C-alpha cells in the first residue's frame, strides 16, 4: 500500500534527529541537583572481604554518601531469584547463588561491586572511591570453562565444591543411543565458543529519582524491557506496588541482549536517590564496561553425529559445558544456551538427538543473552561438524548437506529436540545462495589467490534459529487525537533497529494513515500500558502482530461511526486506503474524518463511546524459525596468519519482509558481530590469577570497516501462518550464520596445509601457529 506500506524500502524516520545529535540517550538526561555515583569494584577474581573502611572517603569534600553491602542489607531490600526448575546431577535442587547488589563478605569476579560512592561531582566521587580501604584475603579462583569442573578446581562457593550449578537434558536419550549403536560411522569433535562482550556504542547508565510528595521512584535507564524492570524493582527489590515505580528508557545506543533488565546499578541508584532525596546518576565508563556488564556465549560442545552406510545422519549427541559465571541473578542467566540449543540439529533430518548441558559456575561475570542467545552457538556446532565429516570421509560437503536436508515437502517438521519447523525452503535457499555468491567461480578465484601467495577458503552453511517465543505477549495501542492525528504506543523497546519506521509501515498498511501524522512512543511505563520488551527477534513478530490487531479494532469501530455518518448499514461499509466507503457507491469519509467525529458526542451513533483508542495484546501460538544460507570467502596470508574477509552472500527467509532496507541493515550488523567473534573478539582472564586481561579496546579487538567485505543479500521469504503478518524475525539472523560460515571458510583455506583443528578467535597469531604446527607434522 503506497510508498510506506509493508515491503517498501522506507528510509528510517528516526535517522534525521539522531544524525543531528538530537537523540535523547541516557547520558543526555540530567536533572537539577543530581549527584553522581561511582562504584568501587573488586580487583580480585575471588577474595574474602575482611573489612571495608569508608571513613576517609566520607570525609572528603562533596561526598554525599558511601554505601556498602551492609547498608543495603540493613535497609531490608530484596533480591531477585531464579525461577526456572533445574536440578544438579544427583537430583538435588539447582545451586543458584543470587547476585548481591554490593558484596558483603566475599567477591567472586574482577569487577564485583563492593561499595557505592555518591558525590556532588563525578570527579569527587572518583576520588572518594579511591579513598575507600578494603582489606581482602585473596582466594584461589577459576575462570576457564574447561577447568571449572575438573578435580582440584577452586570452588566458587564452598557449598558447591564441584562448581556445577545444574544440568539440563533435551531429546530422547534411549532412541539416540540406539541410533549410535547401529551407526556405520560416528564422527566426534569438540568446539569451543568463546566469551564475548556486546561493546555497544553507548555504555550503560542509570539515573534514579525519588519524589517524596508522591512517594514514587523513577528510573531512567538504557534497558530493553522497561516494564519488566519496573516489575522487578517494585516487587522483588523495594516491595511496593508497581504504581510507585516508573521506568523511562529513551534512545538506546545498542543493546544486543546485554542491556536486559537485571543490573544492580538500577536498584542502587534508585535506592540512593530515595535515601538522599536527590537524583543520583551513574555513567558506566568504557574501561569499566567489561567488568560491570554481563557477557555472552562461553561454552564448549562435544558433539557427535551417527551416520549410516549411505552417509545419512541418524543420530546426534551433544554434551556441553556452559559457563554461567559467578551468580544466577535471574532466569535471564539461564537462557543461553539452554533455551535455544534445540536448533543444533540445524535444517537436517536427524531422527534421534540428545543434548546434555552442564551449567557451571566460575569466577567471571554472569553470562546472559547476547545477539542470538544460543542459536549462533547451535548452528556453529552442527555446521562445523558437517564440514569436518565431509573432510574426514572424503565426500563433497554440499552433497552431504543436500542428502540430509529437510525438503520443503517434509515441513511442518517436529524436531527430536522440540522445535517445530512450520515452513521454509532450505534447499532453495542453498541454491540461491550458491548462485548469488558465484560459487562456480570460486576455483578460479582460489587459483588467483594462490598466484599471489595466499590461501582462499570457501564456507557454505545453512542456518536456522528459534525466534519470537511463545511465552511472553506484547502490547500495542493506537490512540487518535481529536484532530485526527494519532499516537502509536508500543511495549517493545527500540535500541537502534528502526522500530519507529517498521511499526509505522505496519500501521500505514492497515489504516493508510500518513506516518508523519503518527507520534511513536515506547520505553515509558507511565505512557505505555504494558510490554515485555525487545529481545529474541520478537518485535516485528509479536509487537507487529499486536499492532496489526489493534489497527483492526480501529477499523471495526470506524465502520460503525462511518455508517452513521453516511447513513448506511455497517455491513455495507468497506475500508481501504484510509477511506470508509459504502459498497457500490461514491459515498465515503476518510479515516481522519471518522477519528475527528469520534470526539464529537452529538455526531456519534447512539450508545457509542467517545474517542478512538484501541489496543491489543498478542501471544504467538508457536515459535518462528528464520532461516537462510550464508556463503563466505576468505583469503589467508600463510606468512602472517592474517585472515581477510573477501566475499559474503546471504539468502534469508525471515518471513514477510516489512522493510528491505531495515532487514539488510540488521543482517549487516549481525554478520559483523559474528565475524568479529570468529576473527578477534574474546574476553580473556589470566588462568592463574583470574585477572581480566581485556578490559579495554587496547586488548579487546573489535571489527572495523576494513574487516568486512562487500555483502550480497537476497530474500527468499516463506511467510509463517503463526502470526497475522507472516513474519519470522530478523534481528539475529545475521549472527547465526556468520559464526560458522566464517570459521568454515578459514578451515577450508587451511585444509590443504593439513590444519584440522582451530578454535575461535582465528587471530593472525593463532592461524600462523596452526600453519606452523601442521607443516612441522
Q: What is the pLDDT of residues 116-173, one digit of tens each?
A: 999 999 999 999 999 999 999 999 999 999 999 999 999 999 999 999 999 999 999 9
Residue with more model confidence, 413 or 333: 413
Q: Kindly tell me if the per-residue pLDDT of 293 is higher than 60.
A: yes
Those residues with Cβ within 8 angstroms of residue 19's Cβ, 6 or more apart along the chain or in another chain: none
pLDDT in tens, 413-447: 999 999 999 999 999 999 999 999 999 999 999 99
Phi, psi of 370 (to 5 degrees): -135, 145
Q: Kindly tell me if the per-residue pLDDT of 1 is higher than 60.
A: no
DSSP code, position 466: -
| pLDDT of 261 | 79
| pLDDT of 336 | 75
Cα gap 760→689, rounded to integer Å? 23
| pLDDT of 711 | 97
Helix (H, G, I), strand (E, B) or coil at 754: coil
| pLDDT of 661 | 96
**For residues 519-547, average pLDDT:** 96
Q: Kindly tell me if the per-residue pLDDT of 704 is higher than 80.
A: yes
Helix (H, G, I), strand (E, B) or coil at 377: helix
pLDDT class of 330 with cuts at 50, 70, 90? confident
Residue with more model confidence, 510 or 3: 510
Cα gap 252→266, rounded to integer Å? 15
Which of 83, 93, 162 minimizes the C-alpha distance to 362?
162
Residue with more model confidence, 341 or 289: 289
Find the Cα–Cα–Cα–Cα dihedral 249, 251, 254, 258, rounded to 10°. Answer: 0
Find the Cα–Cα–Cα–Cα dihedral 681, 683, 687, 691, rounded to 10°. Answer: 130
Cα gap 360→755, rounded to integer Å? 31
Q: Kindly tell me if the per-residue pLDDT of 339 is higher than 80.
A: no
Q: Which three cell numbers stand for residue 33?
A: 541537583
Mean predicted lDDT score pLDDT of the chain? 96
Find the Cα–Cα–Cα–Cα dihedral 249, 251, 255, 256, rounded to 10°. Answer: 120
Cα gap 308→404, rounded to integer Å? 11
The answer to whether the beta carbons of residues 205 and 24 sit under 8 Å apart is no
pLDDT in tens, 711-761: 999 999 999 999 999 999 999 999 999 999 999 999 999 999 999 999 999
| pLDDT of 2 | 67
Residue with cell 554481563: 294
Cα gap 755→772, rounded to integer Å? 9
Angle at 424 between CA 422 and CA 428, to 5 degrees: 160
Cα gap 302→300, rounded to integer Å? 7
**For residues 607-636, average pLDDT:** 96
Q: How many CB atoms lie within 10 A of CB 621?
A: 8
Number of C-alpha atoms within 13 angstroms, CB side, residue 718? 20
**For residues 48-69, average pLDDT:** 98
Q: At what angle do helices 375-393 and 733-750 cross, to 10 degrees?
A: 30
**For residues 395-416, average pLDDT:** 97
pLDDT class of 536 with cuts at 50, 70, 90? confident
Alpha helices in 93-207 (DSSP H): 122-131, 173-181
Amino acid at each position: 500500500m503506497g510508498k510506506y506500506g509493508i515491503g517498501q524500502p522506507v528510509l528510517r524516520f528516526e535517522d534525521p534527529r539522531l544524525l543531528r545529535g538530537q537523540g535523547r540517550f541516557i547520558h543526555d538526561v540530567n536533572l537539577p541537583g543530581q549527584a553522581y555515583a561511582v562504584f568501587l569494584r573488586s580487583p580480585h577474581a575471588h577474595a574474602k572481604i575482611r573489612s571495608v573502611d569508608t571513613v576517609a572517603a566520607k570525609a572528603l569534600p562533596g561526598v554525599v554518601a558511601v554505601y556498602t553491602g551492609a547498608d543495603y542489607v540493613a535497609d531490608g531490600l530484596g533480591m531477585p531469584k531464579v525461577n526456572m526448575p533445574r536440578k544438579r546431577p544427583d537430583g538435588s535442587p539447582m545451586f543458584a547463588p543470587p547476585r548481591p547488589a554490593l558484596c558483603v563478605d566475599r567477591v567472586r569476579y574482577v569487577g564485583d561491586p563492593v561499595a557505592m560512592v555518591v558525590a556532588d561531582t563525578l570527579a569527587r566521587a572518583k576520588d572518594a572511591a579511591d579513598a575507600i580501604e578494603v582489606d581482602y584475603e585473596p582466594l584461589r579462583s577459576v575462570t576457564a570453562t574447561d577447568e571449572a569442573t575438573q578435580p582440584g578446581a577452586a570452588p566458587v562457593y564452598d557449598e558447591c565444591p564441584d562448581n556445577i550449578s545444574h544440568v539440563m537434558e533435551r531429546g530422547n536419550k534411549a532412541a539416540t543411543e540406539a541410533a549410535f549403536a547401529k551407526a556405520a560411522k560416528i564422527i566426534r569433535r569438540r568446539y569451543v565458543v568463546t566469551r564475548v562482550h556486546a561493546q555497544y556504542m553507548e555504555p550503560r547508565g542509570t539515573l534514579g529519582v525519588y519524589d517524596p510528595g508522591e512517594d514514587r521512584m523513577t528510573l531512567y535507564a538504557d534497558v530493553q524491557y522497561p516494564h519488566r524492570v519496573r516489575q522487578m524493582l517494585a516487587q522483588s527489590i523495594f516491595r511496593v506496588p508497581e504504581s510507585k515505580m516508573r521506568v523511562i528508557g529513551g534512545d538506546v545506543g545498542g543493546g544486543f541482549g546485554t542491556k536486559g533488565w537485571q543490573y544492580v546499578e538500577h536498584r542502587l541508584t534508585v535506592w540512593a536517590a530515595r535515601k538522599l532525596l536527590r537524583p543520583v546518576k551513574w555513567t558506566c565508563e568504557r574501561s569499566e564496561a567489561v567488568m560491570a556488564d554481563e557477557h555472552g556465549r562461553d561454552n564448549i560442545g562435544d558433539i557427535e553425529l551417527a551416520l549410516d552406510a549411505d552417509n545419512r545422519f541418524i543420530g546426534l549427541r551433544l554434551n556441553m559445558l556452559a559457563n554461567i559465571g559467578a551468580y544466577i541473578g535471574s532466569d535471564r542467566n539461564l537462557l543461553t544456551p539452554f533455551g535455544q540449543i534445540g536448533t543444533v540439529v540445524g535444517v537436517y533430518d536427524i531422527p534421534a538427538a540428545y543434548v546434555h548441558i552442564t551449567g557451571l559456575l566460575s569466577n567471571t561475570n554472569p553470562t546472559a543473552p547476547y545477539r542470538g542467545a544460543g542459536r549462533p552457538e547451535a548452528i556453529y556446532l552442527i555446521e562445523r561438524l558437517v564440514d569436518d565429516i565431509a573432510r574426514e570421509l572424503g565426500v563433497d560437503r554440499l552433497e552431504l548437506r543436500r542428502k540430509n536436508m529437510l525438503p520443503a515437502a517434509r515441513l511442518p517438521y517436529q524436531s527430536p529436540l522440540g522445535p517445530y519447523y512450520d515452513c521454509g525452503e532450505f534447499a532453495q535457499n542453498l541454491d540461491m545462495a550458491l548462485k548469488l555468491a558465484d560459487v562456480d567461480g570460486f576455483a578460479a578465484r582460489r587459483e588467483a589467490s594462490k598466484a599471489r601467495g595466499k590461501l582462499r577458503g570457501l564456507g557454505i552453511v545453512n542456518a536456522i534459529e528459534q525466534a519470537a517465543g511463545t511465552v511472553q505477549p506484547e502490547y500495542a495501542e493506537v490512540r487518535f487525537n481529536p484532530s485526527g492525528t494519532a499516537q502509536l504506543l508500543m511495549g517493545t523497546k527500540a535500541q537502534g533497529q528502526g522500530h519507529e519506521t517498521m511499526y509505522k509501515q505496519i500501521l500505514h498498511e492497515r489504516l493508510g494513515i500518513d506516518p508523519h501524522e503518527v507520534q511513536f512512543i515506547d520505553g515509558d511505563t507511565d505512557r505505555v500500558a504494558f510490554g515485555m520488551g525487545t529481545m529474541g527477534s520478537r518485535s516485528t513478530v509479536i509487537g507487529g502482530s499486536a499492532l496489526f490487531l489493534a489497527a483492526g479494532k480501529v477499523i471495526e469501530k470506524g465502520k460503525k461511526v462511518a455508517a452513521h455518518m453516511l447513513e448506511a448499514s455497517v455491513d455495507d461499509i468497506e475500508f481501504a486506503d484510509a477511506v470508509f466507503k459504502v459498497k457500490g457507491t461514491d459515498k465515503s469519509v476518510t479515516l481522519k474524518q471518522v477519528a475527528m467525529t469520534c470526539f464529537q458526542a452529538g455526531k456519534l451513533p447512539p450508545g457509542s463511546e467517545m474517542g478512538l483508542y484501541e489496543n491489543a495484546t498478542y501471544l504467538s501460538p508457536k515459535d518462528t524459525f528464520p532461516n537462510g544460507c550464508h556463503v563466505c570467502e576468505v583469503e589467508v596470508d600463510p606468512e602472517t596468519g592474517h585472515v581477510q574477509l573477501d566475499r559474503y552472500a546471504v539468502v534469508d527467509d525471515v518471513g514477510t519482509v516489512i522493510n528491505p532496507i531495515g532487514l539488510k541493515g540488521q543482517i549487516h550488523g549481525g554478520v559483523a558481530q559474528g565475524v568479529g567473534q570468529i576473527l578477534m573478539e574474546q574476553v580473556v582472564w589470566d588462568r592463574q590469577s583470574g585477572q581480566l586481561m581485556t578490559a579495554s579496546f587496547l586488548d579487546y579487538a573489535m571489527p572495523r570497516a576494513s574487516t568486512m567485505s562487500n555483502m550480497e543479500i537476497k530474500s527468499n521469504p516463506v511467510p509463517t501462518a503463526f502470526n497475522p503478518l507472516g513474519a519470522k524475525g530478523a534481528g539475529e539472523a545475521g549472527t547465526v550464520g556468520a559464526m560458522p560460515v566464517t570459521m568454515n571458510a578459514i578451515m577450508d583455506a587451511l585444509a590443504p596445509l593439513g590444519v584440522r583443528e582451530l578454535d575461535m578467535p582465528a587471530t593472525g597469531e593463532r592461524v600462523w601457529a596452526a600453519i606452523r604446527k601442521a607443516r612441522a607434522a
